[in-house]
Structure 1
Amino acid sequence: MLTLDTFLATLLYAVVGILIFIVTFILVDRLTPGELWKEIIERQNTAVAILAGAGAIGICTIIAAAVHG
């Protein structure tokens, strides 16, 4: 049965995971040469978009494994 404590803990882990993902993705964006979003949005560079998506999936997998324990 879902209790309030369990719900709040799940919500907290989700928020912390999303915040860690955002900070990590910004860090990766800053460390890559060039402007990642400019390449994806303005220049429609599919290869950079696929690379960014793969990086995001990798980051999320690591965060999920860390949160899951």
Structure 2
Amino acid sequence: MDYFSAIKLTEIISTIFYTFLGAGLMFVIWKIMDRVTPFHLLEQVEKEQNLALAVLIGMVYLSLAIIIAAVILS
């Protein structure tokens, strides 16, 4: 069986759509987190080398990615 014959156009379009939807939601969450905190997140991580904040942001993104994936798959 040919692998390309099993792929449907609707699956490709929905994958691209949900990829951009997930990336857009992650960007919106980043902007909300940056606005809510009293300091700039990027400045703290890059210039101040705040490793704890970098780990926290990474864990927030990981949990959001799991939630977004679960919502998209349901």
Same fold (TM over 0.5): yes
Aligned to 1:27: 32
Structure 1 residues 45-67: Cα deviation after superposition (integer angstroms, max 9, x where no partner): 10111111111111111111111
1:8 aligns with 2:13: yes
Aligned to 1:60: 65
Once residues 68 and 36 of structure 2 are traced to their aligned partners in structure 1, the CA distance between those partners, rounded to angstroms, is 19
Identity of aligned residues (%): 29
Structure 2: segments with no counterpart, 5+ residues: 1-5
Aligned to 1:42: 47
Once residues 32 and 57 of structure 1 are traced to their aligned partners in structure 2, the CA distance between those partners, rounded to angstroms, is 19
Asked which structure has the greater CA Rg, the reply is 2
Q: Aligned letter for 2:34?
A: D
Compute the RMSD of aligned alpha carbons: 1.0
Residue 32 of structure 1, CA deviation: 1.9
If asked which structure has higher relative contact order (CA below 8 Å, sep 6+), I would say 1
Structure 1: segments with no counterpart, 5+ residues: none
TM-score (norm 2): 0.84
Structure 1 runs (4+) deviating above 3 angstroms are: none
